[in-house]
């Protein structure tokens, strides 16, 4: 990874997290699933898969590009669906930690402003967190490789506002369809999102990927409405260049009234 990630986390309901922990199952939604306005604010995104907001002249060919239509169709926006399925997590970076001298731990606050965007009313909500970032990522790579489908994982870049007015972005997507999975609008930047993605041309409604041997790498933290969560990471040691040289996957948590 190009950034040092200390932990991955998700805000969800216990039943969904049970599936991950007890069944080793990643439930991967189709990218187009996020177009639904019935989702929470943190999930819904009308711009998922959008490629351009520039007026475009569309011509077509019926013989694989040898000849093109004389007529054209003017379109005001362009989207692309590579039939990608995604699993999304919030990433905590080492350079965003704050050292607590009194308790000799590094802390990080997951704000209520983020949690509330995924909050489901009238039910229990909890945070699922794993400090075993490399283990989780490698297990995904192994399972995805076994599936036989093209797959990738990367940080989301929050530059789509600009990309939608850049003709070069259309070419980027044309060269690699999964590009659209990893670009979102700036308003989503507080999600600190890292995505695991699989391209499945069979186009199922969703895709289930089973990871092997991950049951013991998670912490579960029941959440309180209107409270931020301060995480405490123990046993971290950095060198003079702020590079992490020692890490103990012990995590504590306390609530802070928003």
Q: Is pLDDT at 1 greater than 50 in this prediction?
A: no
Q: Is pLDDT at 44 greater than 80 in this prediction?
A: yes
* DSSP E strand stretches across the chain: 5-12, 25-30, 50-52, 56-58, 73-75, 78-79, 84-93, 98-100, 105-110, 126-130, 151-155, 193-199, 206-210, 219-222, 227-234, 237-238, 244-246, 250-257
Mean pLDDT along residues 130-135: 92
pLDDT level of residue 56 (50, 70, 90 thresholds):
low
Mean pLDDT along residues 168-180: 90
pLDDT level of residue 148 (50, 70, 90 thresholds):
very high
pLDDT level of residue 75 (50, 70, 90 thresholds):
low
The whole-model pTM stands at 0.88
Tokens in use for 247? 């890490």
Residue 186: predicted pLDDT: 96
pLDDT level of residue 77 (50, 70, 90 thresholds):
low
Q: Is pLDDT at 243 greater than 80 in this prediction?
A: no
């Amino acid at each position: 990874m190009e950034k040092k990630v200390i932990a991955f986390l998700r805000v969800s309901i216990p039943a969904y997290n049970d599936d991950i922990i007890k069944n080793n199952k990643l439930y991967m939604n189709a990218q187009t699933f996020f177009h639904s306005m019935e989702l929470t604010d943190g999930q819904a995104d009308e711009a998922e898969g959008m490629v351009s907001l520039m007026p475009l002249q569309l011509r077509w060919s019926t013989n694989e590009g040898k000849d093109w239509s004389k007529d054209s169709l003017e379109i005001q926006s362009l989207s692309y669906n590579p039939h990608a399925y995604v699993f999304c997590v919030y990433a905590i970076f080492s350079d965003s930690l704050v050292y607590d001298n009194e308790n000799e731990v590094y802390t990080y606050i997951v704000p209520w402003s983020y949690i509330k965007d995924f909050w489901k009313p009238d039910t229990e909500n909890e945070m699922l967190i794993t400090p075993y970032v490399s283990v989780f990522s490698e297990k995904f790579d192994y399972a995805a490789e076994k599936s036989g489908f093209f797959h990738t994982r990367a940080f989301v870049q929050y530059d789509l506002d600009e990309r939608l007015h850049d003709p070069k972005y259309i070419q980027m997507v044309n060269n690699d369809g999964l590009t659209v999975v990893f670009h979102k609008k700036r308003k989503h930047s507080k999600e600190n999102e890292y995505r695991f993605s699989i391209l499945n041309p069979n186009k199922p409604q969703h895709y289930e990927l089973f990871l092997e041997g991950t049951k013991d790498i998670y912490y579960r933290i029941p959440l309180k409405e209107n409270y931020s969560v301060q995480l405490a990471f123990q046993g971290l040691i950095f060198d003079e260049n702020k590079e992490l040289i020692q890490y103990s996957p012990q995590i504590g948590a306390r609530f802070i009234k928003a």
